[in-house]
């Protein structure tokens, strides 16, 4: 199997203005959500919930924040993004595909002959800055990148899951980043407040948070903490600005999200849809529900 060929044209990402961004991003996010659920159906299932909770964060980053180009995916001067919660690979692929990093259909996701590995693979997919999938490692990689790039203007963004923050390595990285005063490193935690199965509290509304008191924990590790609504584009963009304005310490954005956001059937069954497959009828119902959701 061969890697995807980057698009050869001199295409560049259109950076949206803060005034125009929220409405444009909302429309684009709806489109990507639809592409994600269709691709997951083609793949006979996958991580619906986490892809749909993180997609707004990724889209806002790529559309309004990151200095990257599909024309030069390996440009050493680019900003870096690591999707540490690698099980949401399809959300990252959907954004990269939308921005023109490659042309192949998302519907080949995780096929044997496809370069779109089930989890992000930097060796086969242009635009993926680091391979992830074994949870907890991405923030350490981000620390290394931020150390290596600290003499330049590049910034390193790492997107984690709140369940992932149960991994001890996340806190090894948090400690090291603060001790190195890495203010070019920004973490974003997709706080959808659920994980695959949790601590036997099956009802979503009564499940304990994967990592309680996240803000206090990050602060105690020496990070600047920003909280926002992870589905409100204006709040996200404001949070990005606040993160970049932080000096002398790394910053983390705790983005409050909804697992399965944008798909009523999945929002109602977030534990089931951490990773699951659907029947043809359910798939049709999911798409119909999205129509209604968008119409509202």
Partner 1 sequence: MKLADHAGAVLARLAVDDARIFVLDGDLADSDGAIHFAERHPGRFLMAGIAEQGMISTAAGMAAVGARPCVFSFSAFLCYRGYDQIRVCLSQAEQPVILVGSHAGGLSGRNGKTHAAPNDLALMLSLPGIRVWAPADFADVEFALEQSMRNPMPTYIRLPRKQFALGENLRGNAAAIRWIRPKRPLTIVSTGLATRWAEAVAERLSETGMDVGVLHCLELAPQSGLGRQLEGVQQLISLEDHCCFGGLGALLAQHCPGVPLRCFGWPANFVGKSGADEEVLEYYGLSTQKLAQRIALASTAVDRA
Q: In the numeric block, which tokens belong to residue 148?
A: 């290596």
Q: Is the dihedral of CA 87, 195, 164, 290 positive or negative?
A: positive
Residues of this chain, 11-50, that bind partner 1 according to CB under 8 A = none
Among 31, 38, 108, 122, which residue interacts with partner 1 (rule: CB under 8 A)? Answer: 122
Q: Least distance (Å) from partner 1 to the CB of residue 169?
A: 5
Please report whether residue 182 would count as binding partner 1 according to CB under 8 A.
Answer: no
Can you count the helices (H) and strands (E) in the chain? Answer: 9, 5
Single out the residue of 44, 195, 25 nearest to residue 111, CA to CA: 44
Q: Least distance (Å) from partner 1 to the CB of residue 183?
A: 16
Among 26, 107, 166, 169, which residue interacts with partner 1 (rule: CB under 8 A)? Answer: 169
Residues of this chain, 145-164, that bind partner 1 according to CB under 8 A = 145-149
49, 274 Cβ separation under 8 angstroms = yes
Q: Which stretch binds partner 1 (CB under 8 A): 63-71, 175-183, 217-225, 239-247?
A: 175-183
Give the list of residues 6+ apart from residue 188 with CB closer than 8 angstroms, or none.
57, 61, 157, 158, 159, 160, 252, 253, 255
- If you search the block for the tokens 């932080």, which residue do you land on? 246
Residues of this chain, 61-100, that bind partner 1 according to CB under 8 A = 76, 80
Binding site for partner 1 (CB under 8 A): 76, 80, 121-123, 129-134, 137-138, 140-149, 168-169, 172-173, 175-176, 179-180
């Amino acid at each position: 199997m061969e890697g995807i060929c980057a698009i050869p044209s001199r295409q560049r990402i259109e950076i949206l203005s803060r005034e125009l961004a929220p409405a444009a991003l909302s429309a684009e996010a709806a489109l990507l959500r639809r592409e994600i659920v269709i691709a997951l159906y083609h793949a006979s299932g996958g991580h619906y919930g986490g892809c749909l909770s993180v997609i707004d964060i990724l889209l806002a980053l790529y559309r309004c924040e990151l200095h990257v180009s599909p024309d030069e995916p390996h440009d050493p001067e680019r900003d870096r993004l690591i999707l540490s919660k690698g099980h949401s690979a399809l959300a990252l692929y959907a954004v990269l595909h939308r921005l023109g990093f490659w042309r192949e259909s998302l519907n080949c996701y995780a096929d044997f002959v496809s370069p779109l590995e089930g989890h992000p693979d930097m060796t086969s997919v242009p635009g993926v800055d680091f391979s992830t999938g074994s949870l907890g490692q991405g923030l350490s990689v981000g620390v290394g990148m931020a150390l290596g790039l600290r003499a330049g203007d590049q910034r390193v963004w790492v997107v984690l899951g709140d369940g992932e923050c149960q991994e001890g390595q996340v806190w090894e990285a948090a400690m090291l980043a603060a001790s190195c005063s890495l203010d070019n490193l920004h973490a974003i935690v997709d706080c959808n407040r659920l994980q695959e199965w949790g601590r036997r509290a099956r009802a979503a509304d009564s499940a304990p948070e994967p990592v309680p008191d996240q803000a206090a924990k990050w602060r105690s590790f020496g990070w600047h903490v920003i909280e926002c609504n992870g589905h409100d584009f204006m709040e996200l963009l404001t949070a990005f600005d606040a993160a970049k304005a932080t000096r002398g310490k790394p910053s983390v954005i705790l983005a409050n999200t909804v697992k399965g956001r944008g798909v009523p059937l999945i929002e109602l069954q977030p534990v089931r849809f951490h990773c699951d497959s659907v029947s043809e009828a359910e798939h049709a119902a999911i798409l119909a529900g999205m129509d209604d959701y968008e119409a509202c």
